[in-house]
C-alpha cells in the first residue's frame, strides 16, 4: 500500500469549486546556419484538410486555413456526431478524478485521440464511428500528480516502409505511468520493433519517486525520426524531486538518441554558476510538462521549462537557476543547447512556462522574421527571434519586491515586456478589494491589509503573501493561437489571487493535523512547509475585481491589445446581477480559422463558443453535455465538410460536469 501524495494542484482546483462555483537572458552556441530566404513556417503534413499535430502544426499555431465555416454562417453550426469513450473517473473507484483535456489529431482520413486513462482511439472523422482502440491498462489506483490526464497523441510516417506495411504510420502516446508507446495507425496494435514489444520505459534514470509523482500528460514532439518527451513532476514536495530530463528516442527502434537536463549537471556548463553552493547537483524538476514545439527546417526544438523543486522556497537553490522557467532551443538532432530565454529568475511562485512556445512569422521593415511567442502565467507575452532567442520587442529588468523569508535569496529584478502590455492586472491593494456585498468587500480589504501585497513577484512569507495573478493565472496550459494573416495572437487568461504562507518546519505536523484538507505541502529539505489558499470572501467569491477569465487579441505588429472580453460565466452566480460580465476560470485553449473565427470552450459554463477575431464579439455558442476543458480542432472530411471537434469530458479538479464525450459540429 502507498500513502496518497499531497497534491497542491488538486487542493487548489477543489478550492476553485468552492470559490466560484531590454535586458534578456540569452546563452548557448551559435546556430549552425542562418538563411532569411528559407521558409520560416513550421512544417505541416497537410496545409488544409488535416490537423496532424496537437497545435495543428509543429509550431503550435492552432490556425486552420479552412473557411467554409465563417463569420456569416457560424450561427448555423450544429452537432453532427457524438462519440463516448467510456473513460471517466469521479474519484469513487479510482485514486483521482479525470480531466479530459485531449485535442484529437486528424491525418490520413482518421481521427486519433487519447482518453484520461491513456486509451488511444481511432475514429471515422465524418461519422464518429470507432475504428479501433488500444488500452495500455495503466493503474487507475495511483494518485497521479496531475490526476488522470492525457492531452493528446502524436504521429510519425516512416517513409522507408511501403504503403500498407505495418507501422508505416505510427501513433505515439506517453502515459501517466511512464511509458512511451508506438502503435500502428491502421490497426492500433503495438509496433513490435519499437523498444520492448512497442514500449519504452520512461521512468528509468530519473531518480527515486513515489507512485504518481512522475508521469506524462502532453503529447510527444516529433522531429525527423525522433520522438522527444518531457515529463510531469509533482510540485512542492521536496528538494530532491525526480529529474526533469528531456529525452529523444528513435521513432523506429525506441533507442535513446540524446538527453538534456534543464538543471545543469556538469560544472563546465555556463549555467552551473547560477546555482549557488553546487545546488544544481541536488535539485530536481524544472521539467518540461507542457507541449514542445519544433522547427524541423532549422533542426530546432523549443522547450517550455518549469520551476525547480520545491516551488515556493529557494533557499536551498540560491541563484537565478538556469535553465528553469525558460524557453530553451536545442539542436533537434543532437540535443545540444542553442539558446535560452528565462522568463522568471529564481522562481518561488510556481511560474512555470505553462504553454507550448508558438512559432510565428513577424513582418518588420519589409522583412519576414521567424519568431517564437512565449505566453506566461504572469500574463506576459515575450516575442523572441527564433534562431537566437533575442527579444524582438524590448524587454527590461525591473526591480521587484524584496525582503524574503530568512534563508531565501531573491533576484533583485525580473524581466518585463516593455511594449506588449500584461494581459491582466499585477497588483491587488486593499482599495482594489471586491465583493458582491459591502460586507464581503470590507472583509477582503482587511484580509489584504493583513498580508504582504506589493504587486507581482511579492515573495512568499511567514506573514502570508498575496501572489497575483497566481500559479494558474495569466495564460495556463491552454496556451495561445495565432492568425498569421492578421498577425494576431489570441490568449485566454485567468485572474485570481493566492495567499502563500511559509510554515516553519517544527510547526508542519501540527498544521497538517489541524487542517487535514488544506493545501499544505512539506517542501522537504527546506526550513519551511507551504500553505496555499485562494484569497476569497467567506461566501466563496474572489476578492479581486472581475473579470476572472478573459479572451484577448494581441496585435503582434503594433504590440497593442486589440480587444479583450470576459470569457464564460460561473453557473452558480448566474442569478447575481451583472455576473454575465464577470468571466469564468477557464482551462483549455483556442483555435483560429481563416473564416475569421476563434473557437474556444474552457469556461465553467459548458459552452463551445465562436468569436469574431476582428472585434471579439461572440457570434455563436452551443451547450456541451459536460465541461469543455480541452482545446478544439478543425478539419475537412472526405465529404468536403469542415468539422469542429472538441472533447467534452469535464475537469474533476475544476468542478465542471464530468463526461466522456467527443463532439463534432458542422454546417447543415
pLDDT tens-digit profile of 537-555? 988 899 999 999 999 999 9
Q: Could you tell me the pLDDT band of residue 12, with boundaries at 50, 70 and 90? A: very low
d(CA 615, CA 488): 12
**For the segment 169-196, what is each residue's pLDDT rounded down to a tens digit?**
999 999 999 999 999 999 999 999 999 9
Rounded mean pLDDT, 81-89: 97
Q: What percent of the chain has pLDDT over 90?
A: 87
d(CA 485, CA 64): 11
Rg (alpha carbons) of the chain, rounded to whole number: 23
Q: Could you tell me the pLDDT band of residue 345, with boundaries at 50, 70 and 90? A: very high
Cβ density class 333-358: b for 16+ within 10 Å, e for less: bebebbbbbbbbbbbbbbbbbbbbbb
Q: Among residues 79, 188, 206, 91, which one has the least CA distance to residue 136?
A: 188
d(CA 647, CA 577): 31
Signed CA dihedral, 88, 92, 95, 97: sign only: positive
Residue 92, classified by CB atoms within 10 Å of its CB into exposed (0-12), middle (13-18) or buried (19+), is: exposed
Say which residue the cell 512555470 belongs to.
352
The cell numbers describing 424, all together, are 491582466
Signed CA dihedral, 438, 439, 441, 446: sign only: positive
Rounded mean pLDDT, 441-465: 97
Element (H, E) at 13: helix 8-20
**For the segment 288-304, what is each residue's pLDDT rounded down to a tens digit?**
999 999 999 999 999 99
Count other Cβ atoms within 10 Å, centred on residue 629: 27
Inform me whether the pLDDT recorded for 25 exceeds 50.
no
145: left (phi over 0), alpha (psi -120 to 50) or beta: alpha
Instruction: Write out 367-406 in H/E/C secondary structure.
Output: EEEEEEEEECCCCCEEEEECCCCCECCCEEEEECCCCCCC
pLDDT at 570: 94
Rounded mean pLDDT, 330-356: 98
Rounded mean pLDDT, 617-639: 98
Full-model pTM: 0.93
Q: Could you tell me the pLDDT band of residue 16, with boundaries at 50, 70 and 90? A: very low
Could you tell me whether strands 148-149 and 98-99 are parallel, antiparallel, or unpaired per DSSP bridges? parallel
Q: Could you tell me the pLDDT band of residue 10, with boundaries at 50, 70 and 90? A: very low
d(CA 308, CA 522): 15
Count other Cβ atoms within 10 Å, centred on residue 639: 10
Class of CATH domain 8-21+23-666: mainly beta
Rounded mean pLDDT, 18-23: 38
C-alpha distance from residue 319 to each of 277, 353, 371, 404, 502 (Å) = 9, 19, 29, 14, 20
pLDDT at 47: 56
Inform me whether the pLDDT recorded for 507 exceeds 80.
yes
d(CA 28, CA 389): 10
C-alpha distance from residue 425 to each of 189, 197, 238, 549 (Å) = 50, 51, 31, 12
Say which residue the cell 491587488 belongs to.
428
Residues 6 or more apart in contact with residue 186 via CB below 8 angstroms: 166, 169
Inform me whether the pLDDT recorded for 33 exceeds 70.
no
Q: Among residues 586, 566, 590, 587, which one has the least CA distance to residue 578?
A: 566
Inform me whether the pLDDT recorded for 36 exceeds 60.
no
Active site residues: 350
Q: What percent of the chain has pLDDT over 70?
A: 93
Peptide bond just before 516 cis, omega within 30 deg: no
- Taken as a whole, the chain contains a residue count of 668
pLDDT at 365: 79
d(CA 591, CA 56): 9
Out of 21-25, 260-264, 346-350, pick the least confident.
21-25
d(CA 385, CA 79): 41
Signed CA dihedral, 127, 129, 131, 137: sign only: positive
DSSP, collapsed to helix, strand or coil, labels residue 172 as strand
Domain residue extents for the chain: 8-21+23-666
pLDDT at 27: 33
Residue 512, classified by CB atoms within 10 Å of its CB into exposed (0-12), middle (13-18) or buried (19+), is: middle
What value, to the nearest 5°, has the Cα angle with vertex 353 and ends 395 and 397? 25
- Read off φ and ψ for residue 333, nearest 5 degrees: -75, -20
Amino acid at each position: 500500500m502507498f500513502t496518497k501524495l499531497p497534491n497542491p494542484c488538486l487542493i487548489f482546483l477543489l478550492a476553485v469549486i468552492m470559490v466560484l462555483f531590454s535586458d534578456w537572458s540569452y546563452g548557448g552556441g551559435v546556430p549552425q546556419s542562418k538563411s532569411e530566404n528559407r521558409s520560416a513556417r513550421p512544417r505541416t503534413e497537410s496545409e488544409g484538410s488535416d490537423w496532424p499535430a496537437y497545435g495543428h502544426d509543429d509550431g503550435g499555431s492552432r490556425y486552420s486555413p479552412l473557411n467554409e465555416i465563417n463569420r456569416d454562417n457560424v450561427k448555423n453550426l450544429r452537432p453532427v456526431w457524438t462519440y463516448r469513450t467510456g473513460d471517466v473517473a469521479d474519484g469513487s473507484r479510482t485514486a483521482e478524478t479525470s480531466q479530459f483535456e485531449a485535442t484529437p489529431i486528424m491525418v490520413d482520413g482518421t481521427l486519433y485521440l487519447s482518453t484520461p486513462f491513456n486509451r488511444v482511439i481511432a475514429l471515422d472523422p465524418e461519422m464518429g464511428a470507432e475504428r479501433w482502440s488500444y488500452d495500455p491498462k495503466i493503474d487507475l489506483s495511483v494518485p497521479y500528480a496531475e490526476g488522470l490526464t492525457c492531452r493528446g497523441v502524436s504521429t510519425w510516417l516512416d517513409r522507408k516502409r511501403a504503403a500498407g506495411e505495418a507501422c508505416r504510420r505510427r501513433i505515439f502516446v506517453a502515459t501517466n505511468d511512464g511509458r512511451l508507446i508506438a502503435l500502428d495507425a491502421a490497426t492500433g496494435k503495438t509496433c513490435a520493433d519499437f523498444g520492448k514489444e512497442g514500449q519504452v520505459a520512461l521512468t528509468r534514470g530519473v531518480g527515486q519517486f513515489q507512485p504518481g509523482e512522475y508521469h506524462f500528460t502532453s503529447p510527444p514532439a516529433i522531429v525527423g525520426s525522433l520522438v522527444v518527451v518531457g515529463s510531469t513532476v509533482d510540485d512542492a514536495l521536496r528538494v530532491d524531486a525526480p529529474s526533469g530530463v528531456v529525452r529523444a528516442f528513435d521513432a523506429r527502434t525506441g533507442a535513446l538518441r540524446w538527453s538534456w537536463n534543464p538543471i545543469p549537471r556538469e560544472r563546465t556548463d555556463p549555467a552551473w554558476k547560477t546555482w549557488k553552493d553546487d545546488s544544481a547537483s541536488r535539485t530536481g524538476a524544472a521539467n518540461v510538462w507542457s507541449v514542445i514545439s519544433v522547427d524541423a527546417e532549422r533542426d530546432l526544438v523549443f522547450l517550455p521549462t518549469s520551476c525547480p523543486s520545491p516551488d515556493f522556497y529557494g533557499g536551498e537553490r540560491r541563484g537565478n537557476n538556469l535553465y528553469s522557467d525558460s524557453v530553451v532551443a536545442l539542436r533537434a538532432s543532437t540535443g545540444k543547447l542553442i539558446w535560452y530565454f528565462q522568463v522568471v529568475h529564481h522562481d518561488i511562485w510556481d511560474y512555470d512556462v505553462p504553454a507550448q512556445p508558438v512559432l510565428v512569422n513577424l513582418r518588420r521593415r519589409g522583412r519576414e522574421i521567424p519568431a517564437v511567442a512565449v505566453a506566461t502565467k504572469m500574463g506576459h507575452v515575450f516575442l523572441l527571434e527564433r534562431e537566437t532567442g533575442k527579444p524582438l520587442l524590448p524587454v527590461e529588468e525591473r526591480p521587484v519586491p524584496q525582503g524574503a523569508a530568512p534563508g531565501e535569496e531573491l533576484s533583485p529584478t525580473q524581466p518585463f515586456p516593455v511594449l506588449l502590455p500584461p494581459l491582466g492586472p499585477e497588483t491587488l491593494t486593499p482599495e482594489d478589494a471586491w465583493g458582491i456585498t459591502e460586507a464581503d468587500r470590507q472583509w477582503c480589504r482587511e484580509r489584504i491589509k493583513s498580508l504582504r501585497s506589493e504587486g507581482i513577484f511579492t515573495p512568499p512569507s511567514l506573514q502570508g503573501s498575496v501572489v497575483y495573478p497566481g500559479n494558474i493565472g495569466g495564460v495556463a496550459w491552454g496556451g495561445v493561437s495565432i492568425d498569421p494573416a492578421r498577425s494576431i495572437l489570441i490568449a485566454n487568461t485567468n485572474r485570481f489571487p493566492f495567499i502563500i504562507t511559509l510554515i516553519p518546519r517544527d510547526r508542519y505536523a501540527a498544521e497538517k493535523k489541524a487542517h487535514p484538507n488544506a493545501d499544505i505541502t512539506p517542501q522537504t529539505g527546506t526550513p519551511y512547509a507551504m500553505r496555499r489558499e485562494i484569497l476569497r470572501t467567506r461566501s466563496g467569491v474572489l476578492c479581486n475585481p472581475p473579470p476572472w477569465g478573459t479572451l484577448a487579441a494581441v496585435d503582434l505588429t503594433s504590440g497593442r491589445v486589440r480587444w479583450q472580453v470576459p470569457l464564460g460565466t460561473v453557473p452558480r452566480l448566474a442569478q447575481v446581477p451583472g455576473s454575465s460580465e464577470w468571466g469564468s476560470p477557464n482551462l483549455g485553449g483556442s483555435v483560429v480559422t481563416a473564416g475569421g473565427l476563434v473557437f474556444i470552450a474552457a469556461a465553467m459554463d459548458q459552452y463551445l463558443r465562436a468569436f469574431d477575431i476582428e472585434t471579439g464579439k461572440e457570434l455563436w455558442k452551443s451547450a456541451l453535455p459536460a465541461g469543455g476543458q480541452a482545446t478544439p480542432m478543425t478539419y475537412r472530411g472526405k465529404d468536403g465538410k469542415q468539422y469542429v471537434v472538441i472533447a467534452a469530458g469535464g475537469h474533476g479538479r475544476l468542478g465542471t460536469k464530468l463526461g466522456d464525450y467527443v463532439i463534432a459540429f458542422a454546417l447543415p
